[in-house]
């Protein structure tokens, strides 16, 4: 029998719903859909309150990924797309969300989502996505003041971490923890290029490094690369990290060490997930835009 | 609209003509040679004194890239030289400019000099001439020096022609090229209107085609374009965000089209594919060569020629203010050292004077999706649309 291939890169898809809310009693159901290069999220709000969300893998087709994310968030709630009055699409596939009323960039949406999660004190956001990385400065409302993005390659982003998980045979969700199970912090790998880092990592294993030491070295390299981007923007606290890599303490703590600023952590018992920040921001914009539309039609 | 020969027929003169010329530039050049029996000089960068070439009955065709992937330049030019230089050389190696009768480089940057040197070695094209246009145009000796070099260049061109170039020849060249500059400036003036009657993409086509189309024919098309505008042209650009582009060479229609599809209009530029090449007219003098030397020393500077004082910065800010630009897209060809040295101080200068910027690094082909995110997010910050609403409005 062929041996089952384990996908170490595969992160847990997530579905959450607030069972205490009866959405049928709400006047406005709105949604935000974030179709990223690696993951897609849908967030549903009931009268502006977080009701449900779903985070899933992006497939080869953006409209299908958007539908899959939304269907996942609606699943079990006896809700259909027709019940949602306003949808904002975001992420690199934002213009390919067929049922969206409006597309807004993930830069604006992550800032808005981070503001909801942390509050008005958040001023700098690092979004570490699947294939890019953004540093965003915003005001107390979550409105973008300035932003900077990484270069065009995917080095030092979520996809790179997935490749390393597979190359080293370590489940992606264990990487952060294991990267600290070392005697001494190693120097960062020289290459953060996704392709070269993989060969460098396997080369280090052959040279006698432990898996954990290689993981530490890769996390450190990713943190260095991202920190140089952060420092180009100048960080003002509160500083918050969104996107999938926000859940990798191995990278987050090393970034904090380099820039000398601690990132805000969500409480341990929160239902919020930094990976849904973009979709959450989009849903909040959808809520505000629906109100705006309603006011305009009332005045007309 | 293909003719029996397969060449796309030129549409009636007007704003559409420039895009047609841009997309069929080699067909135009070959057809022009056949029609006129005259010669074409390949121009490397925008400092070649076209007046002297035109005085001899020839035209200059600026060497440009093709915005397509290529694999022919690797043995001939360094990988860390800018993609524009590499793309231009690729066009030569692929034989796209096989109609050149000669080539001239007026010195600007070392990367482009490598393109020229490699072209001479591996492509060849009749005559070639390296014109050492001074980089330190701010030196008090630059104009005298350049006048001397222009005299040598004129003598060289006379050798190619087999006749002398008289003052009357030079005056004819100066008149046609100056008129071209004046007409392009007139088109740019229209862009100051709250509802610009031409898009940034259309203006890019107008400015860049001036660098390879016979100027007398280009002038006719510009006059037709002006008539079209004067007749009350409306391309629906009122209420869009007004942007400027600043930086390295950029004649990428896909990029400009994308940026302008997002509710923005490029109203002004400081780029060699645009205003920098035609901005200042030549001021006539009894000594024609001195007048030409002064014109090229006085033109808005490429960063290779903008030291010790950075004259470009106040010029760029003046353009932004006069044309009402709400923000600037700052562009750098990857590895373009002269521009790279300017990017940080230029962005700080503009931002400190109220012109927000976004930076993009260009390659021979550009990733439109990632660029779109950057431009769209930049526009969102400029637009100030209320996306936040009011929690206490009594609604849901």
- Would you state the structure tokens that stand for residue A26, as one six-digit string? 């709400």
**3-class SS string, B205-229:** HHHHHCCCCCHHHHHHHHHHHHHHH
**Topology of domain B15-383, per CATH?**
Rossmann fold (3.40.50)
- pLDDT score recorded for residue A5: 67
Q: A56-95: per-residue pLDDT in tens? A: 999 889 999 999 999 999 998 999 999 999 999 999 899 9
Query: Is B393–A152 a contact, with Cβ atoms under 8 angstroms apart?
Result: no
Query: Is B367–A152 a contact, with Cβ atoms under 8 angstroms apart?
Result: yes
CA distance to B47, B276, B301, B319, per residue, from B271 (Å): 13, 5, 10, 12
* Closest CA relative to residue B172, chosen from B216, B212, B237: B216
Torsion of CA A128, A134, A140, A144, to 10 degrees: -140
On whether any CB of chain A is under 8 Å from the CB of B121, the answer is no
- pLDDT score recorded for residue B154: 98
| Largest CA-CA distance found in chain B, in angstroms, rounded | 87
CA distance to A44, A105, A251, A279, per residue, from A70 (Å): 8, 18, 30, 11
Which residues, 6 or more positions from A60, have their beta carbon under 8 angstroms from its beta carbon?
none
Grade residue A4 by pLDDT with cuts at 50, 70 and 90: low
Per-residue pLDDT at B285 exceeds 90: yes
- Would you state the structure tokens that stand for residue B334, as one six-digit string? 């990857």
Q: CB count, 10 Å around CB of B281?
A: 17
- Which residues of B fall within a CB distance of 8 Å from A145? 381
Q: For residue A116, what is the nearest residue in chain B, using CA coordinates?
A: B388
Nearest by CB: A291 against B373, B380, B389: B389
- Which residues of A fall within a CB distance of 8 Å from B386? 288, 292
CB-facing half-sphere around the CA of B101: CA atoms within 13 A: 16
The distance of B232 to chain A (nearest Cα, Å) reads 33
Query: Is B373–A149 a contact, with Cβ atoms under 8 angstroms apart?
Result: yes
Per-residue pLDDT at B2 exceeds 50: no
Per-residue pLDDT at B362 exceeds 80: yes
Q: Looking at domain A14-113+272-299, which CATH architecture does it have?
A: 2-Layer Sandwich (3.30)
Per-residue pLDDT at A3 exceeds 60: no
Q: B290-322: per-residue pLDDT in tens? A: 999 999 999 999 999 999 999 999 999 999 999
On whether any CB of chain A is under 8 Å from the CB of B164, the answer is no
Distance CA A30, CA A49 (A): 10
- Collapsing DSSP to helix, strand or coil, B83 comes out as helix
On whether any CB of chain A is under 8 Å from the CB of B387, the answer is yes
Distance CA B116, CA B129 (A): 10
Which residues, 6 or more positions from B143, have their beta carbon under 8 angstroms from its beta carbon?
B290, B293, B294, B297
Grade residue B375 by pLDDT with cuts at 50, 70 and 90: very high
Per-residue pLDDT at B267 exceeds 50: yes
Work out the average pLDDT over B3-9: 51
Query: Is B369–A289 a contact, with Cβ atoms under 8 angstroms apart?
Result: no
Reply yes or no: is the peptide bond before residue B108 cis, omega within 30 of 0.
Answer: no
Residue A42, H or E segment:
strand A39-46
Query: Do the bridges between strand A14-17 and strand A49-57 make them parallel or antiparallel, or are there none, so unpaired?
Result: antiparallel
Angle CA(B333)–CA(B319)–CA(B191) in degrees, nearest 5?
100
- Phi and psi torsions of B70, nearest 5°: -150, 160
Helix residue spans in chain B (DSSP H)? 15-23, 25-36, 50-55, 83-93, 110-122, 142-161, 167-190, 200-209, 215-230, 253-260, 275-278, 288-298, 312-322, 337-352, 368-383
On whether any CB of chain A is under 8 Å from the CB of B386, the answer is yes
Mutation pick from B258, B374, B382, B395 vs chain A, by most beta carbons of A within 10 Å, is B395
The pLDDT > 90 percentage for chain A reads 73
Per-residue pLDDT at B191 exceeds 80: yes
Query: Is A104–B380 a contact, with Cβ atoms under 8 angstroms apart?
Result: yes
Work out the average pLDDT over B7-14: 73
The distance of B114 to chain A (nearest Cα, Å) reads 27
Beta-sheet strand order (sheet of B357-362): B264-270, B241-247, B327-333, B357-362
Query: Is B361–A152 a contact, with Cβ atoms under 8 angstroms apart?
Result: yes
Residue B107, H or E segment:
none
Nearest by CB: A149 against B369, B374, B391: B374
Which of A120-124, B248-252, B279-283 has the lowest average pLDDT? B248-252
| Mean of per-residue pLDDT scores for chain A | 92
Check: CB of residue B377 under 8 Å from CB of residue A127: no
CATH 3.30.420.40 in chain A, residue ranges: 14-113+272-299, 123-259
On whether any CB of chain A is under 8 Å from the CB of B71, the answer is no
- pLDDT score recorded for residue A144: 96
End-to-end Cα spacing for chain B: 58
Helix residue spans in A43-168 (DSSP H)? 62-74, 106-118, 158-168
- pLDDT score recorded for residue A159: 85
* Closest CA relative to residue A146, chosen from B351, B228, B206, B331: B351
B180 alpha-carbon distance from chain centroid = 14
Work out the average pLDDT over B335-348: 94
Which of A150-164, A270-284, B305-319 has the lowest average pLDDT? A150-164
Distance CA A216, CA B298 (A): 56
Mutation pick from A152, A229, A295 vs chain B, by most beta carbons of B within 10 Å, is A152
Nearest by CB: A48 against B376, B386, B396: B396
Distance CA B226, CA B209 (A): 16
Work out the average pLDDT over B64-72: 92
Work out the average pLDDT over A50-58: 95
Work out the average pLDDT over B370-392: 90
Which residues, 6 or more positions from B110, have their beta carbon under 8 angstroms from its beta carbon?
none
Distance CA A163, CA A154 (A): 11
Per-residue pLDDT at A27 exceeds 80: yes
- Which residues of A fall within a CB distance of 8 Å from B387? 104, 108, 112, 143, 285, 288-289
Distance CA A75, CA B83 (A): 50
When mean pLDDT is compared over A163-167, A231-235, B128-132, the highest value belongs to B128-132
Query: Is B373–A151 a contact, with Cβ atoms under 8 angstroms apart?
Result: no
The distance of B349 to chain A (nearest Cα, Å) reads 16
Q: For residue A115, what is the nearest residue in chain B, using CA coordinates?
A: B388
Grade residue B10 by pLDDT with cuts at 50, 70 and 90: low
Check: CB of residue A241 under 8 Å from CB of residue A252: yes
Grade residue B4 by pLDDT with cuts at 50, 70 and 90: very low
Check: CB of residue B340 under 8 Å from CB of residue B256: no
Q: Supply the pTM of this predicted model.
A: 0.91
- pLDDT score recorded for residue B3: 45
For A123-259, which CATH superfamily applies?
ATPase, nucleotide binding domain (3.30.420.40)
Distance CA A228, CA A135 (A): 11
Which of A252-266, B67-81, B104-118 has the lowest average pLDDT? B67-81
- Which residues of B fall within a CB distance of 8 Å from A132? 370
Grade residue A193 by pLDDT with cuts at 50, 70 and 90: confident
The distance of A295 to chain B (nearest Cα, Å) reads 9
Q: For residue A25, what is the nearest residue in chain B, using CA coordinates?
A: B396
CA distance to A120, B112, B197, B350, per residue, from B246 (Å): 35, 19, 21, 11
B124: left (phi over 0), alpha (psi -120 to 50) or beta: left
Q: Work out how many CB contacts closer than 8 A connect A with B.
A: 64
Which of B41-45, B294-298, B386-390 has the lowest average pLDDT? B386-390
The distance of A151 to chain B (nearest Cα, Å) reads 8
* Closest CA relative to residue A103, chosen from B140, B379, B212: B379
Interface confidence (ipTM) of the complex: 0.88
A contact set with B (CB within 8 A): 26-28, 47-48, 92, 104-108, 112, 132, 141-147, 149, 151-152, 285, 287-289, 291-292, 294-295
- pLDDT score recorded for residue A11: 83
Check: CB of residue B314 under 8 Å from CB of residue B232: no
Query: Is B396–A143 a contact, with Cβ atoms under 8 angstroms apart?
Result: no
Mutation pick from A32, A103, A105 vs chain B, by most beta carbons of B within 10 Å, is A105
* Closest CA relative to residue B16, chosen from B233, B276, B205: B205
CA distance to A68, B68, B390, per residue, from A72 (Å): 6, 41, 30
């Amino acid at each position: 029998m062929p041996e089952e291939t384990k996908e170490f890169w595969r992160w847990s898809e997530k579905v959450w719903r607030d069972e205490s809310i009866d959405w049928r009693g709400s006047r406005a159901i709105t949604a935000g859909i974030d179709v990223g290069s690696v993951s897609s999220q849908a967030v549903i709000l009931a009268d502006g309150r977080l009701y449900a969300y779903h985070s899933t893998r992006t497939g080869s087709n953006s409209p299908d990924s958007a539908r899959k994310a939304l269907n996942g968030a609606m699943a079990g709630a006896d809700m259909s797309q027709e019940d949602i009055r306003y949808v904002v699409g975001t992420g690199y596939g934002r213009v390919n969300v067929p049922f969206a009323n409006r597309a807004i960039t993930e830069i604006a949406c992550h800032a808005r989502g981070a503001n909801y999660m942390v509050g008005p004190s958040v001023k700098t956001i690092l979004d570490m996505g699947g294939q890019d990385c953004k540093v965003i400065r915003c005001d107390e409302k979550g409105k973008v003041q300035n932003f900077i993005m990484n270069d065009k390659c995917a080095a030092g982003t979520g996809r790179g971490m997935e490749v390393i998980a597979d190359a080293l045979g370590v489940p992606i969700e264990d990487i952060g923890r294991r990267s600290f199970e070392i005697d001494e912090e190693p120097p960062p790998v020289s290459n953060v290029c996704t392709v070269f880092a993989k060969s460098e990592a396997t080369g280090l294993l052959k040279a006698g490094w432990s898996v954990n030491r290689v993981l530490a070295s890769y996390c450190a390299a990713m943190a260095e690369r991202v920190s140089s981007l952060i420092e180009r923007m100048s960080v003002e606290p509160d500083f918050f990290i969104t996107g999938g890599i926000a859940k990798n303490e191995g990278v987050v703590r090393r970034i904090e060490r380099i820039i000398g600023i601690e990132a805000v952590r969500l409480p341990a018992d929160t239902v919020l997930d930094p990976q849904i920040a973009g979709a959450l921001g989009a849903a909040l914009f959808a809520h505000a835009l629906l109100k705006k539309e309603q006011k305009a039609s009332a005045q007309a | 609209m293909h003719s029996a020969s397969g060449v796309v027929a030129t549409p009636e003169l007007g704003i559409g003509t420039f895009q047609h010329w841009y997309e069929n530039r080699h067909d135009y050049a070959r057809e022009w040679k056949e029609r006129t029996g005259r010669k074409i000089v390949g121009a490397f960068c925008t400092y070649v004194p076209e007046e002297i070439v035109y005085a001899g009955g020839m035209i200059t065709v600026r060497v440009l890239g093709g915005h397509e992937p290529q694999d022919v330049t690797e043995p001939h030019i360094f990988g860390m030289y800018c993609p524009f230089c590499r793309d231009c050389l690729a066009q030569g190696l692929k034989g796209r400019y096989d109609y050149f009768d000669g080539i001239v480089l007026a010195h600007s940057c070392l990367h482009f000099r490598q393109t020229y040197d490699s072209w001479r070695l591996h492509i060849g094209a009749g005559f070639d001439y390296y014109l050492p246009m001074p980089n330190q145009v701010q030196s008090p000796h630059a104009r005298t020096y350049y006048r001397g070099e222009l005299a040598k260049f004129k003598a060289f061109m006379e050798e190619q022609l087999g006749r002398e170039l008289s003052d009357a020849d030079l005056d004819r060249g100066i008149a046609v090229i100056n008129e071209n500059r004046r007409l392009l400036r007139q088109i740019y003036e229209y862009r100051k209107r709250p509802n610009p009657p031409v898009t940034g993409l259309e203006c890019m086509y107008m400015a860049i085609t001036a660098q390879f189309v016979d100027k007398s024919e280009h002038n006719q098309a510009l006059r037709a374009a002006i008539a079209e505008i004067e007749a009350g042209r409306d391309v629906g650009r009122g209420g869009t965000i007004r942007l400027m582009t600043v930086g390295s060479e950029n004649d990428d229609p896909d990029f400009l089209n994308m940026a302008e599809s997002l509710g923005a209009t490029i109203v002004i530029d400081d780029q060699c594919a645009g205003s920098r090449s035609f901005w200042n007219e030549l001021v006539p003098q009894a000594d024609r060569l001195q007048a030409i030397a002064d014109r090229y020393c006085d033109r808005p500077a490429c960063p290779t020629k903008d030291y010790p004082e950075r004259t470009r910065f106040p010029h760029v800010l003046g353009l932004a203010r006069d044309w009402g630009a709400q923000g600037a897209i700052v562009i750098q060809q990857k590895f373009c050292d002269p521009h790279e040295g300017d990017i940080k101080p230029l962005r700080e200068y503009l931002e400190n004077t109220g012109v927000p910027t976004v930076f993009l690094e260009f390659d021979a082909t550009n990733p439109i999706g990632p660029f779109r995110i950057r431009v769209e997010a930049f526009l969102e910050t400029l637009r100030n649309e209320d996306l936040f609403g009011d929690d206490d409005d009594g609604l849901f």
